[in-house]
């Protein structure tokens, strides 16, 4: 009777294969981050959020004094949800905003507009997508108003803003002859220490501020792939000597995820 010899299967002692899942770091606050993490996870991508900034509110008395005089202004300009937070945290500010509800309130972005509505205001221009585009929108409306009011000029708009704000909107309005009263209501403080853990394959920037914070990290930025969210971030990234492989619109989670997926696929094919 023939003897059957079976091969001996030795245990696999080789080191485990490295994790090849793509990792994405989203530089934004945890508020509103879950849809991005979930969408990337559905595509087999590990995503995490890191908040790289914190905020300090300033000039509360001056802000309350300005809000007490709606008749001296032609409306409000808000380019950040931090401004609405500065208002919402003070009961007296919320009370004084009631007298502004009949005036135009110009905002950038859906989140800022949503928070303005929560305060009983009626935001305009939120879909313009950037501060510069909002400036052109405001200028058009204010110029039309000026022609109706001639020879009187429209009242100045109250612009509650950050200590370091981008120049596009004020410059656009100044060129159009629209008067703007600026009032600093918060400052941004950067988190300059990099997050713990492995360096990600991709970093997604949601604001120029997040770029300033991350640029101080001792990371190999030349090999880290980059994406931006929003028109302002898409323009600002070039100021840091970086290029964005993917540029998505605000709150278009699918466009960001699919854009990065396409770039990953293209890299693998090449």
Domains and CATH numbers, the chain: 23-52+191-269 (3.40.50.10090), 55-189 (3.40.50.10090)
Return the pLDDT at 137: 92
**The whole model's pTM is what?**
0.68
- Number of neighbouring beta carbons within 10 Å of residue 148: 9
Contacts of 11 (CB under 8 A, 6+ apart): none
Return the pLDDT at 228: 94
Return the pLDDT at 149: 56
Cα–Cα dist 180/147, whole Å:
18
Buried b (16+ CB within 10 A) or exposed e, 13-42: eeeeeeeeebbbbbbbeeeebeebbebbee
Cα–Cα dist 97/166, whole Å:
25
Identify which of 95, 124, 87 has the alpha carbon closest to the alpha carbon of residue 107. Answer: 124
Q: Would you say 239 and 263 are in contact if contact means Cβ atoms under 8 Å apart?
A: no
Total count of residues recorded for the chain = 270
Return the pLDDT at 90: 96
- Number of neighbouring beta carbons within 10 Å of residue 96: 19
Identify which of 224, 192, 198 has the alpha carbon closest to the alpha carbon of residue 210. Answer: 192
Q: Would you say 123 and 117 are in contact if contact means Cβ atoms under 8 Å apart?
A: yes
Which residue stretches of the chain have pLDDT < 70?
1-20, 30-31, 146-153, 251, 270
Q: Would you say 194 and 171 are in contact if contact means Cβ atoms under 8 Å apart?
A: no
pLDDT in tens, 145-194: 766 655 456 899 999 999 988 888 999 999 988 999 999 999 988 888 89
Strand 202-205, strand 23-27: pairing: parallel
Cα–Cα dist 82/100, whole Å:
19
């Amino acid at each position: 009777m023939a003897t059957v010899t079976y091969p001996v299967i030795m245990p696999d002692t080789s080191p485990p294969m490295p994790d090849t899942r793509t990792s994405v770091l989203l530089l934004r606050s945890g508020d509103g981050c879950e849809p991005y993490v979930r969408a990337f996870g559905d595509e087999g991508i590990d995503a995490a959020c890191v908040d790289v900034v914190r905020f300090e509110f300033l000039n509360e008395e001056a802000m309350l004094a300005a809000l007490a005089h709606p008749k001296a202004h032609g409306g409000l300009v808000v380019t950040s949800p931090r401004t609405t937070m500065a208002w919402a945290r003070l009961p007296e500010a919320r009370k004084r905003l009631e007298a502004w509800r009949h005036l135009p309130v110009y905002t950038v972005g859906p989140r800022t507009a949503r928070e303005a509505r929560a305060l009983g205001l009626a935001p305009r221009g939120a879909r313009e997508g950037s501060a510069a585009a909002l400036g052109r929108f405001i200028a058009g409306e204010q110029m039309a108003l000026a022609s109706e009011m001639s020879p009187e000029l429209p009242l100045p708009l109250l612009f509650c803003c950050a200590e370091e704000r981008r120049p596009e909107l004020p410059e656009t309005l100044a060129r159009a002859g629209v008067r703007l009263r600026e009032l600093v209501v918060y400052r941004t403080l950067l988190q300059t220490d990099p997050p713990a853990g492995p360096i990600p394959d991709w970093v997604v920037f949601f604001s120029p501020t997040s770029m300033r914070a991350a640029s101080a990290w001792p990371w190999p930025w030349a090999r880290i792939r980059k994406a931006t969210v929003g028109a302002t971030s898409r323009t600002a990234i070039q100021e840091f000597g970086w290029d964005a492989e993917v540029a998505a619109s605000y709150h278009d989670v699918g466009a960001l995820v699919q854009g990065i997926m396409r770039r990953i696929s293209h890299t693998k094919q090449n």
